[in-house]
Amino acid sequence: MSPIRKDVTIGDCRLILGDCLDILPLLGKVDAVVTDPPYGIGFAAQPTKWQRRAGSEARNWDDAIVERLPDLLSRGRIQAVWGGNYYALPPSRGWMSWYKPDAPPSMASIELCWTNLDRNARQISHSIGATNAERVGHPTQKPVAVMRWQLDQLPDARTILDPFMGSGTTGVACVKLGRKFIGIEIDEGYFDIACKRVADAVARPDLFIEAAKMPAPKQEPLL
């Protein structure tokens, strides 16, 4: 029996419903694995007031870390893991971070992303409140602006894999930047949300990305 419960293609994005540990052996290599896996801190079990208003409910999927994370990351030449500080990953100087200038005292002011890149660390400052309009009910949803910024740091990565797709923010960022995307999600509710968000992004393409894809106009010789 196939571990793939649903397989949806939207533009240059492939969204798969199922357990990534079972599905990844069926996929090939990609340019980059960019993901935000469970941190094992139980955050999803304690949604904030604003998250509850957006539809979040207490869940237990964040109660434990992913034991086989290195196996999942090996699918990509470039590897980037939000919450990498909660995992036993190799030393790196290429960390990325998201600084939240309006983070309340009950939340961390910075989220860290481990990468396997041997280069200077990079940071983006982006307000939590600025993302309220994007919220779709996922308690650890990343802002599209943060994921677009991160992908901008990886210009050579044209095909992006996110084995913990959640509500599909990485996929939306890929659409807006003209990248190919493969996302895997085990929760059907989040999967359906991701499909809708990616479909909406494809239906409203970034004009600059579409212009870059178009062939240059033919220049007629001057008389």
Q: What angle do CA 34, 61, 2 make, to 5 degrees?
A: 70
* 42 has a pLDDT exceeding 60: no
- pLDDT score for 219: 44
* 182 has a pLDDT exceeding 80: yes
Strand order in the sheet with 180-185: 6-10, 13-17, 180-185, 159-162, 30-35, 76-82, 110-115, 96-99, 122-125
Let me know: does 144 contact 169? Beta carbons within 8 Å: yes
Global pTM value: 0.83
Higher pLDDT, 48 or 31: 31
**Closest Cα to residue 8, out of 177, 142, 173, 197?**
197
If you average pLDDT over every residue of the chain, what do you get? Answer: 86
Tokens linked to 133: 């309009």
Residue 10: helix, strand or coil by DSSP?
A: strand
- Confidence at 211, pLDDT banded by 50, 70, 90: very low
Residue 37: helix, strand or coil by DSSP?
A: coil
* 137 has a pLDDT exceeding 90: no
Crossing angle for the helix pair 188-203 and 169-177, to the nearest 10 degrees: 20
Identity of the amino acid at 154: L
* 66 has a pLDDT exceeding 90: no
Domain 6-212 carries which CATH code? 3.40.50.150
Residue 30, CB half-sphere, CA atoms under 13 Å: how many? 27
- What share of the chain has pLDDT > 90, as a percent? 67
Q: What angle do CA 206, 152, 17 make, to 5 degrees?
A: 75
- What share of the chain has pLDDT > 70, as a percent? 81
Lowest mean pLDDT among 36-40, 82-86, 178-182, 209-213: 209-213
* 113 has a pLDDT exceeding 90: yes
